[in-house]
């Protein structure tokens, strides 16, 4: 996959643009030959024959290579700054801004990673060793701090279970480490599948919450939990 990507990227971002420029020159040359040579002259025949041969060669090469590497276009269309921090123009790397990269990486890119051939999906799970305080609608609170003066709030759907409270989801890793040198993210965020809360803890939860609320991104830093409102949390103050 790595070799395919490198060759495909070189084809579409360097070789074909150069050939397109050559093709434009060839078309201009045809016009000049027809203007400045006599009809039926030997020079016109030789010039048009050479240009026709060059034209067929360029178009034929482009068609064959496009047929071989057209999957690269499909894969490339799925890539954004959250997946790769640069793109190529005429063989040169153009770096994306770090703010743009961070902004895209905060989005849920699960479906994109699943369609990219250079990534493989792995199931992940993380226990939550925090006391469950209860719920307010679809907002769920967990105690933090030595004296419980803080709470972290998760907003979203949950599933009650007899197992200990934990998160399950997926993350993605490059199938070939050489992709990292091309600017691809080595390992994605953990994308939440299910937020499990122990049923017994939920039954015993006091449903009393402290004033200071911590945003979940500051606690579960490796996880993408979907949209989590900042209002009323440490990030919204």
pLDDT tens, residue by residue, 78-105 = 999 999 999 898 888 999 999 999 999 8
Distance CA 177, CA 160 (A): 38
Q: Give strand pairing partners of 123.
A: 170
Shared domain for 141 and 218, answered yes or no, is yes
Domain that holds residue 48: 2-76
Shared domain for 129 and 41, answered yes or no, is no
| Sign of the four-CA dihedral 123, 129, 130, 134 | positive
Q: Is residue 178 part of a domain?
A: yes
| Sign of the four-CA dihedral 216, 221, 223, 229 | positive
DSSP notation for 48-116: HHHHHHHHHHHHHHHHHHHHHHHHHHHHHTT--TTTBSEEEETTEEEEPPHHHHHHHHTS--HHHHHH-
Shared domain for 124 and 61, answered yes or no, is no
pLDDT at 65 over 90: no
Q: Is residue 106 part of a domain?
A: no
Q: Is residue 219 part of a domain?
A: yes
Task: At 24, list the tokens.
Answer: 């434009």
Shared domain for 199 and 125, answered yes or no, is yes
Q: Is residue 134 part of a domain?
A: yes
Domain count, the chain: 2
Q: Which residue spans within 128-176 are E strands per DSSP?
A: 132-136, 139-144, 150-155, 159-161, 166-174
Q: Is residue 203 part of a domain?
A: yes
| Its pTM surpasses 0.85 | no
Q: Is residue 229 part of a domain?
A: no
Shared domain for 68 and 122, answered yes or no, is no
* pLDDT tens-digit readout, 117-175: 999 999 999 999 999 999 988 899 999 887 778 899 999 999 999 999 999 999 999 99
């Amino acid at each position: 996959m790595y070799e395919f990507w490198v060759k495909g990227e070189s084809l579409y971002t360097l070789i074909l643009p150069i050939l397109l420029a050559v093709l434009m020159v060839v078309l201009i040359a045809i016009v000049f030959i027809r203007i400045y040579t006599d009809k039926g002259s030997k020079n016109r025949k030789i010039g048009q024959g050479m240009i026709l041969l060059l034209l067929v060669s360029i178009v034929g090469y482009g068609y064959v290579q496009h047929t071989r590497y057209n999957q690269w276009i499909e894969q490339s269309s799925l890539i954004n700054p959250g997946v790769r921090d640069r793109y190529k123009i005429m063989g040169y790397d153009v770096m994306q801004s770090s703010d743009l990269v961070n902004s895209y990486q905060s989005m849920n890119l699960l479906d994109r990673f699943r369609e990219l051939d250079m990534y493989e999906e792995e199931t992940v799970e993380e226990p939550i060793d925090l006391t469950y305080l209860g719920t307010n609608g679809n907002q769920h609170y967990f105690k933090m701090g030595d004296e419980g003066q803080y709470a972290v709030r998760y907003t979203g759907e949950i599933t009650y279970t007899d197992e200990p409270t934990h998160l399950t989801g997926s993350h993605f890793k490059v199938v070939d480490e050489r992709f990292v040198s091309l600017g691809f993210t080595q390992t994605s965020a953990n994308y939440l599948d299910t937020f499990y809360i122990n049923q017994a803890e939920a039954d015993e939860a006091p449903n009393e919450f402290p004033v200071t609320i911590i945003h979940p991104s500051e606690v579960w830093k490796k996880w993408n939990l979907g949209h989590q409102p900042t209002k009323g949390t440490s990030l919204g103050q």
